[in-house]
Structure 1
Amino acid sequence: MATRTSRTPRRTEALSRERIVEAAVALLDAEGESGLTFRTLTERLATGPGAIYWHVANKGELLAAATDSVIADVLAIEHDEPSDTPQDEIRTLALGLFDAIADHPWLSAQLAVQLSGSPWGSVTPRIFESFGQRVAALGVPEATWFTAASALMHYVFGAAGQNAANARALEPGVDRAEFLHAAATVWEELDPGEYPFMKSIADQVREHDDREQFLTGVDLILTGITASNRA
């Protein structure tokens, strides 16, 4: 009787850098940065490590490429849906980044690496340009462009990163609405003499929407930028 030999699944598409990056993003979403190895990547793509190294030199380059790919998708959507005012375009851009960071738990840390440690890479200039063009369109003095755009970016990535971290911190199976309700209930029972503010906002915490709260913060910054220009 003939024996059946085990064979490695054959690729049905030619291997390309784009396919490698796409597979890397999927692995990062599912397993996090620690789960992205060249071994797991070769298994997913049914190829050998040499074929991947031909396109990507190391894991650092792969992480940078995955980050760039996700950000490129966000900016492409933002360009496909132009709005009437710079303020609306900034909101669209900010919310797109907020959602991307929520959908890709690894993205916040990688953006911090790119924005702080690799300002000459492709990600930092593209994000700065997208915010900066719209800040300039608000009519603020050129001398304040860098500060205003930086303030927006710091808020967007800080708030989006914290929101994503909050979601990851929930225990498996814990409902977010129930969690917020429990926290708000505890805050309502705090000593009013020591925690008057916390007691007053407890009900707002219970009912708030993360995306709406995020956009309200964007609007506060935009109001400050335009108000300082008028002054």
Structure 2
Amino acid sequence: MFDNAQAAPGTARTVWWDGAMASPPQPGEASSRTRAPRTRSRASHSLESVLAGAVEILDESGAQGLTIRALAARLGGGVASVYWYVSGRDELLDLAADSVLGGVLEATADVGGGDPIEDLRVIALAMFDAIVDRPWLGAYVLRDTATQIHSLQLYERIGEQVMRLELTPRQSFHATSAVVGYVIGTAADMGQQPPEAVVSGELSKDEYMAGAAAQWRALDPAQFPYIHHIIDEFDGHDDRDQFVGGLDLLLAGLRLQAGR
């Protein structure tokens, strides 16, 4: 069986069924070996429903829980109905991540025209909120911009705010990379799978963090002066507030570089 070049999601793919390899028919000889191409029947789903189902599974079970077979079962069809839209699991993961960032793109559609630094802050916060509660998402954001058109457009939107600061191309590239990297990296770190004691219900998140704070307080102040300097801030801190504090430091540095 030979397959033609991979088609774009949502377009038909022609599959050619052939027998054993043989030389082409000679002039005047009937081409009895040649068979007409067979086309796959169109799936009953839509690309949007396929990606929505994939995101549901990813949110429930993480990347390890998403298989083509599991998604097909959830959608109520065979695996061929999923393969109509994606070439395989990797493309499915990339497109599922991109669909989430499509929501960020839509939510920030009106951003622009105000203070560039404040506009960057709005986009960064929207992007962080979309990623932080999805431990699976950070690994697939901007992984393949040839496929992830929404991710590419979101990167462009961030870069366009940086361009308004009238920095050099090199400074603009570094600034955009710093903002995107901080958002994705921090969100992925804060959105990690909770410790087993929390997952099992043995401890609540607050109880677990209180135990960690108590361990830090018990450390020798002479050996860990910084820990004791910030322990009251760490104890009971809010993750989003921690992210915003770092983001504001990053954007303040960018404002200074731009002379604003």
The alignment's TM-score, normalised by the length of structure 1, stands at: 0.84
Distance in 2, matches of 1:30 and 1:176, equals 19
Q: Which amino acid aligns with 1:35?
A: G
Greater than 4 Å deviation, 4+ residue runs:
80-83
Q: Are positions 1:168 and 2:191 aligned together?
A: no
SS at 1:55's partner residue?
coil
The corresponding residue for 2:24 is: none
CA offsets per residue over residues 160-208 of structure 1, 9 Å max, x none? 111001x533522232222222222222221111111001111100132
What are the within-5 Å matches in structure 2 for residues 146-161 of structure 1? 146-161=173-188
Contact 1:22–1:66 (8 Å) recurs in 2? yes
Q: Which residue of 2 aligns with 1:222?
A: 251
Q: What is the Cα deviation at residue 108 of structure 1?
A: 1.0
For 1:1-231, what aligned pairs fall within 5 Å after superposition?
A: 14-80=44-110, 84-111=114-141, 114-115=142-143, 118-121=144-147, 122=149, 124-165=151-192, 168-169=194-195, 171-172=198-199, 173=201, 174-230=203-259
Q: C-alpha separation between the residues in 2 aligned to 1:105 and 1:92?
A: 22
**Quick one: distance in 2 between partners of 1:162 and 1:68?**
19
Unaligned residue ranges in structure 2 (runs of 5+): 1-42
The structure where helix makes up a greater share of residues is 1
Identity of aligned residues (%): 35
Deviation string, structure 1 residues 104-150 (Cα, Å, up to 9, x no partner): 22101112xx44xx354435522321211111223333331001111
Q: Report if aligned partners of 1:135, 1:145 keep a CA contact under 8 Å in 2.
A: yes
CA distance in 1: counterparts of 2:75 and 2:69, whole angstroms: 10
- Between stretches 170-179 and 207-216, larger displacement belongs to 170-179
- Between the aligned partners of 2:235 and 2:177, the Cα distance in structure 1 is 31
Deviation at 1:86, TM superposition (A): 2.0
Provide the C-alpha distance between the structure 2 equivalents of 1:169 and 1:127, rounded to a whole number of angstroms. Answer: 32
Mapped to 2, the partners of 1:219 and 1:60 lie a distance apart of 35
Distance 2:104 2:114 in 1: 19
Q: Name the amino acid aligned to 1:137.
A: R
TM superposition score normalised by structure 2? 0.75
Q: 1:42/1:34 Cα in 2 relative to 1: closer, same or farther (>3 Å)?
A: same
Read off the aligned partner of 1:59 and give its amino acid letter: R
The DSSP-based 3-state class of the residue aligned with 1:168 is coil
Distance in 1 separating the partners of 2:210 and 2:112: 38
State how far apart, in whole Å, the 2-side matches of 1:77 and 1:124 are: 13
**Match of 1:74, as an amino acid?**
V
2:79 & 2:146 partners in 1: Cα distance? Answer: 29
Count of matched residue pairs: 214
Q: Which amino acid aligns with 2:184?
A: F
User: Comparing both chains, which one has the higher relative contact order based on Cα–Cα distances under 8 Å and sequence gaps of 6 or more?
Assistant: 1
User: What RMSD over aligned residues (CA atoms) do the two structures have, in Å?
Assistant: 2.2
Name the SS of the counterpart of 2:167 in structure 1.
Answer: coil
Aligned equivalents of 1:144, 1:138: Cα separation in 2: 10
Q: Which residue of the partner structure matches residue 5 of structure 1? A: none
Asked if the contact 1:140–1:226 (Cα under 8 Å) also holds between the matched residues in 2, the reply is: no
